[in-house]
Amino acid sequence: MNKIKKVLGDDLHKYTMVIALIALIVFFNIASGGKMITPSNFQNLLSGNAYVLILAIGMLMVIVIGQIDLSVGSVAGFCGMVMAIAFQKWNFPWWAAVLLGMGIGVLIGAWNGFWVAKMGIPGFITTLGSMMIFRGAVIWISHSISVPAPSELKWFGAGHLPEWGPAFTGMNNSTLLLGIFAIAFVIYAQLRQHARVNELHTNKEPLWPVVIRIVLGTGVIGYLTWLFGTGRPGTSFPIPGLILVVLVMIYHTITQKTRFGRHIYAVGGNKNAAALSGVNVQKTYFLTMLNMSFLAALAGIMFVGRSTAAGPSDGTSWEMDAIASVYIGGAAVSGGVGTIMATMVGGMMMAVLNSGLMLLGVGADKTQVIKGLVLMAAVAFDVYNKRPGHVSITKRLFNRNSAENKEGSPADKKS
């Protein structure tokens, strides 16, 4: 037990969902006779869900500050449509059309942010308004007709990395290169971390957990590289997936490692205490809402690229998928709690369910029912685990021999 902790850190609880996700994938693979874990299915899983996961990144931050954004689907649809119309009817070059779409997204974000931050209107109401406004606006400007998208965009929405180099590797060399980079990064980061720990702390960390972490990381990345790289010729780790990974890395750093990141958790945890600690609460609200619509525009444009045309109903109910991902990932409705990484696991859970149930031939109706049940089960599990006084299920599984019980008494710290 202690050895596992040395490798993975003290908080094993956060791996529960990862284990559940892996179990789900394995289950579907067996049930579908091996159709789940294939290169093309995994490629589709990523490129087909990247846009929802990108929304979920922004949504996590919005939920952490204690707000919600219901308008992301409408905003995504609207920005995608503006981009397509600019290209098709106003003869913008494709890149200018994309910039215009993104710019509109930022403006809408400023609009939402203004009402939430400056006027103090709850995000639920503000974005309910925006949801209606921009859904109406999409239909209005498109006259309910689909508009073809620039073909250059297909690369962003569903593209693959180029094929090059020697064939003896037996896989897509771009993907291979990515994998090698990723492994190199893991090794570098682990060794640097280890060096810093031993430089600064009195209780030195032995080398073996680092080695095991590197071996584990290398194994996982190596396997995924092989999985994504050995699809049909011409396919690789998908471009939307790559965009997603880059965004996740950027936003993970922002939320965990910057002052702005701390501020969003502070504002969500206790707005008044944050204000008295020098946090500009209004600015934090404004930027978070702005960022959400920016990501919504990006997701909308990527989706248009993938489907080659902007439709008037694009983005309908995406907000619900994004919100579900965040809550499955363990965020709290009251704000202040949740991480990008857990949200991504939550989002993948929904994606794997969609894909797996489809492979099993379950209809869309039943899939919806099952997704609803999974949302409830995941959140109920989380709530149960966090309830004071209970020893969490993970702890029970892992911690049976450990004598110390850190939970302590739930109540009556003050009498």
- Return the SS3 of 222: helix
**Which range of residues in 21-29, 101-109, 269-277, 358-366 is near other proteins by CB under 8 A?**
269-277
Q: Measured between alpha carbons, how far is 291 from 42 in angstroms, rounded to an integer?
A: 29
Q: Which is nearer to other proteins, 196 or 232 (CB)?
A: 196
Query: To the nearest whole angstrom, how small is the minimum distance from the Cβ of residue 268 to other proteins?
Result: 8
Q: Which of residues 13, 14, 252, 262 is near other proteins by CB under 8 A?
A: 262
| Structural contact between residues 304 and 119, judged by C-beta atoms closer than 8 angstroms | no
Query: To the nearest whole angstrom, how small is the minimum distance from the Cβ of residue 413 to other proteins?
Result: 6
Does residue 274 touch other proteins according to CB under 8 A? yes
Rg (the chain; Cα; Å)? 23
C-alpha distance from residue 126 to each of 59, 113, 144, 225 (Å) = 15, 9, 25, 43
Q: Measured between alpha carbons, how far is 126 from 131 in angstroms, rounded to an integer?
A: 9
Query: To the nearest whole angstrom, how small is the minimum distance from the Cβ of residue 400 to other proteins?
Result: 15
- Return the SS3 of 181: helix
- Report residue 147: phi and psi, to 5°: -120, 125
Residue 411 one-letter amino acid: A
Q: Measured between alpha carbons, how far is 224 from 37 in angstroms, rounded to an integer?
A: 10
Query: To the nearest whole angstrom, how small is the minimum distance from the Cβ of residue 275 to other proteins?
Result: 6
Query: To the nearest whole angstrom, how small is the minimum distance from the Cβ of residue 391 to other proteins?
Result: 8
The interface mask with other proteins, positions 157-196, x = CB under 8 A, is ---------------------------------------x
Q: Which of residues 164, 167, 233, 259 is near other proteins by CB under 8 A?
A: 259
Q: Which of residues 92, 265, 286, 303 is near other proteins by CB under 8 A?
A: 265
Q: Which of residues 21, 96, 275, 359 is near other proteins by CB under 8 A?
A: 275
Q: Please choose, from the candidates 128, 52, 130, 126, the residue with its C-alpha nearest in 3D space to the C-alpha of residue 298.
A: 52
Q: Which is nearer to other proteins, 12 or 52 (CB)?
A: 12
Does residue 257 touch other proteins according to CB under 8 A? yes
DSSP assignment of 266-301, as one string? HHHH-HHHHHHTT--HHHHHHHHHHHHHHHHHHHHH
Query: To the nearest whole angstrom, how small is the minimum distance from the Cβ of residue 20 to other proteins?
Result: 24
- Return the SS3 of 235: coil
- Return the SS3 of 160: strand
Q: Which of residues 278, 317, 364, 401 is near other proteins by CB under 8 A?
A: 278
Does residue 119 touch other proteins according to CB under 8 A? no
**Which range of residues in 35-43, 74-82, 149-157, 261-269 is near other proteins by CB under 8 A?**
261-269
Query: To the nearest whole angstrom, how small is the minimum distance from the Cβ of residue 197 to other proteins?
Result: 8
Q: Which of residues 50-79 bind other proteins (CB under 8 A)?
A: none
Q: Which of residues 2, 272, 317, 401 is near other proteins by CB under 8 A?
A: 272
The interface mask with other proteins, positions 385-404, x = CB under 8 A, is ----x-x-------------
Q: Which of residues 317, 401, 403, 412 is near other proteins by CB under 8 A?
A: 412
- Report residue 82: phi and psi, to 5°: -60, -45
Q: Which of residues 321-350 bind other proteins (CB under 8 A)?
A: 336-337
- Return the SS3 of 238: strand
Secondary-structure breakdown of the chain: helix, strand, coil percentages, each rounded to the nearest 5? 70, 0, 25
Residue 166: both structure tokens together: 């020697």
Q: Measured between alpha carbons, how far is 350 from 198 in angstroms, rounded to an integer?
A: 40
Number of H helices and number of E strands within the chain?
Answer: 17, 2
Total number of residues binding other proteins (CB under 8 A)?
38
Q: Which is nearer to other proteins, 151 or 253 (CB)?
A: 253
Q: Which is nearer to other proteins, 145 or 189 (CB)?
A: 189
Q: Please choose, from the candidates 294, 312, 381, the residue with its C-alpha nearest in 3D space to the C-alpha of residue 109.
A: 294
Which residues lie near other proteins (CB under 8 A)?
10, 196, 200, 253, 256-259, 261-262, 265-266, 269-270, 272-280, 336-337, 389, 391, 405-415
